[in-house]
Structure 1
Amino acid sequence: MPELAQHCEVVLAPDPSTATLARLIPDAHALVVRAPLAPELFDHAPNLRAIVRHGVGLDMVPMDLVTARGIPVANTPGVNAQAVVEYCLSAMLHLRRGLATMDARMRRDGWAAARPLADGGSDLGGSTCGIVGVGDIGGRLATVAAALGMRVLGLARRPETLPAGVEAVDKQQLFARSDVVVLCCPLTEQTRGLVDAASVAAMKRDAILINVARGPVVDTAAVVAALRQGRLGGAALDVFERQPLTGDEPLFDAPNLLLTPHVAGISDTSMRAMSEVAVATVLALLRGERPRNVVNPQVFR
């Protein structure tokens, strides 16, 4: 962040542990966040005037506590939406067409062994995409899905805000009718455990589930069980209840499961864009300004 360094002393935490952050936070006037912040840290932050989430999700910040202390919190909404949408499309194609599996089979066993794998693929066009959480990311995904010829269903807190062409449905309808279910919602008390065993059981046997929201939105054990029993066509999980994964979790043995290490929103392009917004926001807050991307504007009253 060279631009930030022109105006501030920039300190990079060598690790995200609470002990390390507790040692550094007393002198900090602003924090740029990419790891969870323990509530007790703020007992040692007398100079803190701004927190900027390098990303969108606010579950890393104890919002009620910092708001009560009058500390403004901002994020970088929409900046990585394109990266996440492209990840979702990649996951759909990976699970529907199986190109990686085909490539590995062809390299190992030859042309004749790999070619029949194509018979198990299916087109996205003409199928139904159900999106849970139709905000910046979900709305853009809806546009892309429609352009591919998919019918789009949406589950949102305010159905009247859904984009044109997205059919508002309830949870039961979305899981029962969709060929692809994509989770783009924030983690809240309402969405925690949203995709439970009953939701997974309601899905079509060849449907796929993609989670780019947060791990606790999904009952991972229910997804793994459905995959093993052939009751679900496939799944792509980018986020998990506990991160990072150790490699010993049961889901590593599940069939038709794409696992990625919380990277849906990460590309060189998106990281640069998020950094630019984060830097501009930090400097604005330290100047006493009120950027539009502050998520707790009540602290200014």
Structure 2
Amino acid sequence: MSALPESVAKRPVVLVTGADLAPQALALLDGYNVVYAGKTPTADDIVALCHAHDPVAVIVRYNGVNAAAMDAAPSLKVISKHGSGTDTIDKTAAAARGIAVRAAIGANAAAVAEQALALLLACAKSVTQLNERMHAGHWDKATHKSLELGGRTIGLVGLGAIGQRFAKMCDAMGMKVIGFDPFAKDLPDYIQVVDMETLFRESDAISLHCPLTDENRGLLNASSLSRCRKGVIVVNTARGGLIDEPALLAAVQSGQVRAAGLDSFAVEPLAADNVFKDLPGFILSPHIGGVTSDAYVNMGTAAARNVRSVIEGVEPSAVA
């Protein structure tokens, strides 16, 4: 590999834990030396790159940033998530070192909300099962009945930008929308705020839109699922750790849960021995809810603005 030109080598480094950024995001980082970690960087890869380049900023796409990576980059001032979830960043370690942590809040809200709706409809309308049956030569019109969502209750855990966007879609379909979020304010009148027990008890479908924390890890477990309505649909486009996966498997197999539409998992990529693989009742996608061409640009530019806002001391909205 040839050496970088001196003018480039002297620029402050932004490390991207991925293989690329949208051109619009790169334009916002003009004046910085952008270094990529590749498509599937390990934690050790990120530590090594921090040690080699001493970045002033890390834009997190894949994997995360731990305390060892922070210690390997003494110039690090900001860790900027290319998305909204910051659970892969050790925020306690960052705070102890005076490193800012920023997220691209709302940048992928439309994309993830649409994925949640697709999974909800696929579960209610048996989309993948009927497709497979049709291709196998079957015609199940006389025997199959789908679920009508209009008039039924959707319970949302998390009412941030994504949850509210999804709530609007559900309201438009004639669903009753209830939700739990202790931090949400100024919600539209079609969202009824309830406690978690009410949400479990009254929801015909539950969709998760909250960050993963130590407090809500395993939120949907054997106990909470048993308190839900029989035949509830579960949708998760947030974080896999919110669900006790063996408990959800048992609930689907018993009929307590009608179907589950899942875009995130406790271990990613999906482990070879994941309990949901090759089983009916599960609609699976590879954590791509926020992966659209529009969201790719929105998340990249938001992440770049957050880098510049911390390093240069300007508001993100003021970054052209």
Q: Give the TM-score, by structure 1 length.
A: 0.90
1:170-249 equivalence runs, <5 A: 170-249=195-274
Q: CA deviation at 1:7?
A: 1.6
CA distance in 2, matches of 1:284, 1:134: 26
Q: CA deviation at 1:132?
A: 0.7
SS of 1:74's partner is strand
Quote the residue 2:104 is aligned against.
Answer: 76
1:145-160 equivalence runs, <5 A: 145-158=170-183
CA-to-partner distance for each residue in 1:229-272, whole Å, 9 max, x for gaps?
22210001211222221232222143211111111121111111
SS of 1:264's partner is coil
Cα 1:100–1:240 shift into 2, 3 Å: closer
Q: Is the 8 A contact 1:185 1:191 kept in 2?
A: no
SS of 2:210's partner is coil
CA distance in 1, matches of 2:131, 2:42: 41
Quote the residue 1:45 is aligned against.
Answer: 73
Q: Is the 8 A contact 1:103 1:114 kept in 2?
A: no
Q: Is the 8 A contact 1:227 1:254 kept in 2?
A: no
CA RMSD of aligned residues (A): 2.0
Quote the residue 1:8 is aligned against.
Answer: 32
Q: CA deviation at 1:147?
A: 1.0
Quote the residue 2:59 is aligned against.
Answer: 32
Q: 2:27 is aligned with what amino acid? A: E
Which of residues 101, 107, 110 is equivalent to 2:135? 107
CA distance in 1, matches of 2:208, 2:238: 6
Q: 2:178 is aligned with what amino acid? A: L
Q: 2:109 is aligned with what amino acid? A: A
Quote the residue 1:297 is aligned against.
Answer: none
Q: CA deviation at 1:277?
A: 1.3
SS of 1:109's partner is coil
Quote the residue 2:285 is aligned against.
Answer: 260
Q: Is the 8 A contact 2:245 2:275 kept in 1?
A: no
Flag structure 2 segments of 5+ consecutive residues without an equivalent: 1-20
1:282 equivalent to 2:307? Answer: yes
CA distance in 2, matches of 1:105, 1:8: 54
CA distance in 2, matches of 1:184, 1:96: 19
1:130-145 equivalence runs, <5 A: 130-145=155-170
Cα 1:103–1:194 shift into 2, 3 Å: closer
1:124 equivalent to 2:144? Answer: no
More displaced 10-residue stretch of structure 1: 5-14 or 269-278: 5-14
Q: 1:114 is aligned with what amino acid? A: D
SS of 2:277's partner is helix
SS of 2:270's partner is coil
CA distance in 2, matches of 1:202, 1:149: 25
Quote the residue 1:63 is aligned against.
Answer: 91
Q: 2:33 is aligned with what amino acid? A: E
SS of 1:114's partner is coil
Which of residues 176, 192, 213 is equivalent to 1:167? 192
Flag structure 1 segments of 5+ consecutive residues without an equivalent: 293-301
CA distance in 1, matches of 2:265, 2:243: 8
Number of residues of Structure 1 aligned to a counterpart in Structure 2:
290
Q: Is the 8 A contact 2:206 2:235 kept in 1?
A: yes
CA distance in 2, matches of 1:179, 1:212: 17
Identity %: 34
CA distance in 2, matches of 1:115, 1:95: 17
Q: Is the 8 A contact 2:160 2:184 kept in 1?
A: no
SS of 1:182's partner is strand
Q: 1:47 is aligned with what amino acid? A: S
**Greater per-residue helix proportion:** 1
CA distance in 1, matches of 2:308, 2:185: 36
Cα 1:24–1:4 shift into 2, 3 Å: farther
CA-to-partner distance for each residue in 1:90-147, whole Å, 9 max, x for gaps?
011111112232222222214xx23235x42021111110001111111111111111
Q: 1:191 is aligned with what amino acid? A: N
